[in-house]
A and B are shown apart, each in its own frame.
Chain A
């Protein structure tokens, strides 16, 4: 399963990923009309700032997902039709916010659906080949890759650095 990895040195803090996420989860999927929708669409990832760095924080779709384990109503489930994405059935959400309590990344929010508050979490953009946030990132700080591919990228960078130091 592909995951969204972050090149932590690349994020400029422009928040385009946040906007793209909200637009992708709007009814119209168009920025110019999405801002007039009721309810307003909600983003599902967050660009935080810490120690002088910009850090995009997003759902890891954990293998041992605390939100899934904690969801008593069965709203959060693993969707095996989509390689095991941690998904959500909004109609089953009872609004207990236990998922919000246990998520170690704090990336579950709330949204209005049918006049009722439900949990808002990353669904890995089921209508898209590449998640909207990844596509929106102007500096390619977000990388959509298999964990092995990501590790290979990191290894190559490390190898280049080492080679340079050896001279």
Chain B
């Protein structure tokens, strides 16, 4: 199997081979064959009488020591994955809320309010009085309301209840899956899945759905608070892929997820080019992004994304990366080993995310700019140790247009119809110019040739006039392959879709069409796409489970992706997953996720590793919904 479809990644993999440096692909190979019980979700490690495994071929044990069935074990494992994903997304949100609270008290002077309109919009949405209020006080109230979402309370999570359709609220109430506390429901999953508690697979899965809805709330909160502190993203153009690294500059990669650190580094870097030049780097400082920190600074500052997900190690192999600064999530510990072969300084910054072999500089919001300067100086120091003999930058970049927040999309539509912005979108869906909408989310996965799933699905769906949205490393894949451009519209879009993207592009004053795929942000930003779908549903008075809207994670890797997929199903969407999740060992669970859940929430999982077949199934789901709507 080819390792990556990305030309720059392929070039760096040759360097890795030449230098004898192992990467994620080699380590994955060394792990083969992987444990079949684990792959099926059939291993239970939740008590000291275990580990217990169920024989999927029926010859060996059919229950664990305690009597837990295959379905019970699979459901418990899945619920814990959802809880971990929820903890990660909402931990990210909580970090932003604490920063905002400090900012409102004057304890974090480097975080001034950036977007007052968004602050007021979020405040009034969650029920905080806004009229005549001072913005500092309002920031404090919003931050306090956000932090209250994490504690035990008796009312539904505001960040979920106020952002979904009334129909969804009723559905969630009916099935008893309304979360009232983000941390509470994560803890509840740990409780109900511990030894001798919840053994009913359906009940456990409903608990998982409740947790996933808390994940949705945490994600929405993360996006809202980041926009308030750092600005609502607007369309921005950049180059993407490893060719954005510069031989004559001090190169710093910002990797991880949260803008709390990275945004400040970008701000401070603009004042430090001279220091880099004084060290001999004629090009000054060159910041690049990796993974979703990369998406955050791309959307708000046009920082070029270097690479994403499975190819993160390859940035170091260019020999010109002077520092890689990381916060949390999706950061491979192997980066420290690869960095050892070069001059690259790996810098960890978060107290909960340290890596042996990295330099740890704890980032403090109260002294954000000072921390950022210290980190940048480390990079300049490292630049002096660069070995010219090891420099090998792949000559490959693509154009990428990013930054399509829901606000941006709605204002673009308003340029077409000022009085009724959603009408053009709804009209085009009704007429069939737009067959449906697909949100691409999730990661790369080393099991899949990098980007192959994303590319094949996008091309199949675009040809059939499906409007494509993307976030996270999916959006990154499209950036590196030139699909976030109007050129890609000419190459891949069906005539109806091309006409719509062209017309909206003209209306907002671009010379060109909107890009083939709309980059809506980092992986924590999936609720931006949900917001657009909810707005359409509310306008039509038709709930989400009837709209021709689908989602796909063709190369999913993380527990976060499992949580997102689960809330997307609960929101009523057909959700394609291109990697087989560890659930097949529980036949009742697998059937509930792919079929039974449809009766409860309208959404369901489509597991299909072949991307072309996956696209066919998504198109079928879209067409079924169109037929049901009579369009």
Q: Which residues of A approach B to under 8 Å, CB–CB?
A: 14-16, 18-20, 22-23, 31-32, 34-35, 40-43, 109, 135-136, 138
A16-B35, A20-B36 in contact; A32/B59 too (CB < 8 A)? no
- Interface CB pairs A-B, < 8 A, 18: A15-B53, A15-B60, A16-B33, A16-B35, A19-B56, A19-B57, A23-B36, A31-B36, A31-B40, A32-B39, A32-B580, A34-B57, A35-B40, A35-B585, A40-B58, A43-B57, A43-B59, A136-B33
Q: Which of B33, B53, B580, B585 has the most CB of A within 10 A?
A: B33
Instruction: Tell me, in angstroms, the Cα distance from A16 to B580 when the chains sit together.
Output: 19
Q: Give the chain A neighbours of B15 by CB distance below 8 A.
A: none
Q: Give the chain A neighbours of B56 by CB distance below 8 A.
A: 19, 35
Instruction: State whether the Cβ of B37 lies closer than 8 Å to any Cβ in chain A.
Output: yes
Instruction: Mark each residue of chain B from 18 to 55: 1 if its CB lies under 8 Å from any CB of chain A, else 0.
Output: 00000000000000010111011000000000000101
Instruction: Tell me, in angstroms, the Cα distance from A110 to B39 when the chains sit together.
Output: 27
State the Cβ distance, A121 to closest chain B Cβ, in Å: 15
Q: Give the chain B neighbours of A32 by CB distance below 8 A.
A: 39-40, 580, 584
State the Cβ distance, A75 to closest chain B Cβ, in Å: 22
Instruction: Tell me, in angstroms, the Cα distance from A34 to B58 when the chains sit together.
Output: 12
Are B36's CB and A16's CB within 8 A? yes
Task: List the 7 shortest-distance A-B pairs measured between CB atoms, nearest first.
Answer: A19-B36, A35-B56, A22-B57, A40-B57, A136-B33, A31-B36, A32-B580
* Other-chain residue from B37, B39, B57 in contact with A42 (beta carbon distance below 8 A): B57
Instruction: Tell me, in angstroms, the Cα distance from A22 to B58 when the chains sit together.
Output: 11
Q: Which of B39, B40, B57, B580 has the most CB of A within 10 A?
A: B57
Instruction: Tell me, in angstroms, the Cα distance from A135 to B35 when the chains sit together.
Output: 12
Instruction: Tell me, in angstroms, the Cα distance from A31 to B584 when the chains sit together.
Output: 10
Q: Give the chain A neighbours of B59 by CB distance below 8 A.
A: 42-43, 109
What does DSSP make chain B's interface, helix, strand, loop or mixed? loop
Are B37's CB and A15's CB within 8 A? yes
Q: Give the chain A neighbours of B585 by CB distance below 8 A.
A: 35
Instruction: Tell me, in angstroms, the Cα distance from A15 to B55 when the chains sit together.
Output: 9
Besides the known contacts A15-B53, A22-B57, A23-B36, 8 further A-B residue pairs in the complex with CB atoms under 8 A apart: A14-B37, A15-B37, A18-B60, A20-B36, A42-B59, A43-B59, A135-B33, A136-B33
Instruction: Tell me, in angstroms, the Cα distance from A135 to B29 when the chains sit together.
Output: 13
Instruction: Tell me, in angstroms, the Cα distance from A31 to B34 when the chains sit together.
Output: 11
Instruction: Mark each residue of chain B from 408 to 419: 1 if its CB lies under 8 Å from any CB of chain A, else 0.
Output: 000000000000
Instruction: Tell me, in angstroms, the Cα distance from A78 to B580 when the chains sit together.
Output: 41
Q: Give the chain B neighbours of A42 by CB distance below 8 A.
A: 57, 59
Chain A residue with minimal CB distance to B35? A16
Chain B residue with minimal CB distance to A21? B57
Are B35's CB and A14's CB within 8 A? yes
Q: Give the chain B neighbours of A35 by CB distance below 8 A.
A: 40, 56-57, 584-585
State the Cβ distance, A90 to closest chain B Cβ, in Å: 18
Instruction: Tell me, in angstroms, the Cα distance from A109 to B57 when the chains sit together.
Output: 14
State the Cβ distance, B439 to closest chain A Cβ, in Å: 26
Chain B residue with minimal CB distance to A31? B36
Are B58's CB and A31's CB within 8 A? no
Q: Give the chain B neighbours of A16 by CB distance below 8 A.
A: 33, 35-36
Chain A residue with minimal CB distance to B580? A32
Q: Give the chain B neighbours of A23 by CB distance below 8 A.
A: 36
State the Cβ distance, A117 to closest chain B Cβ, in Å: 14
State the Cβ distance, A100 to closest chain B Cβ, in Å: 15
State the Cβ distance, B585 to closest chain A Cβ, in Å: 7
State the Cβ distance, B200 to closest chain A Cβ, in Å: 23
Instruction: Tell me, in angstroms, the Cα distance from A16 to B53 when the chains sit together.
Output: 11
Q: Give the chain A neighbours of B36 by CB distance below 8 A.
A: 16, 19-20, 23, 31
Are A19's CB and B37's CB within 8 A? yes
Q: Give the chain B neighbours of A34 by CB distance below 8 A.
A: 57
Q: Give the chain B neighbours of A135 by CB distance below 8 A.
A: 33
Instruction: Tell me, in angstroms, the Cα distance from A26 to B377 when the chains sit together.
Output: 59
State the Cβ distance, B70 to closest chain A Cβ, in Å: 10
Chain A residue with minimal CB distance to B51? A14
State the Cβ distance, A13 to closest chain B Cβ, in Å: 10
State the Cβ distance, B40 to closest chain A Cβ, in Å: 7
Q: Give the chain A neighbours of B57 by CB distance below 8 A.
A: 19, 22, 34-35, 40-43
Chain A residue with minimal CB distance to B56? A35
Instruction: Tell me, in angstroms, the Cα distance from A20 to B36 when the chains sit together.
Output: 8
Instruction: Tell me, in angstroms, the Cα distance from A135 to B53 when the chains sit together.
Output: 21
Are B584's CB and A20's CB within 8 A? no
Chain B residue with minimal CB distance to A14? B35
Instruction: Tell me, in angstroms, the Cα distance from A32 to B56 when the chains sit together.
Output: 10
Instruction: Tell me, in angstroms, the Cα distance from A32 to B36 when the chains sit together.
Output: 9
Q: Give the chain B neighbours of A41 by CB distance below 8 A.
A: 57
Q: Give the chain B neighbours of A20 by CB distance below 8 A.
A: 33, 36
State the Cβ distance, B87 to closest chain A Cβ, in Å: 29
Instruction: Mark each residue of chain B from 54 to 86: 1 if its CB lies under 8 Å from any CB of chain A, else 0.
Output: 011111100000000000000000000000000
Q: Which of B36, B37, B58, B59 has the most CB of A within 10 A?
A: B36
Instruction: Tell me, in angstroms, the Cα distance from A109 to B59 when the chains sit together.
Output: 11
Instruction: Tell me, in angstroms, the Cα distance from A19 to B57 when the chains sit together.
Output: 8
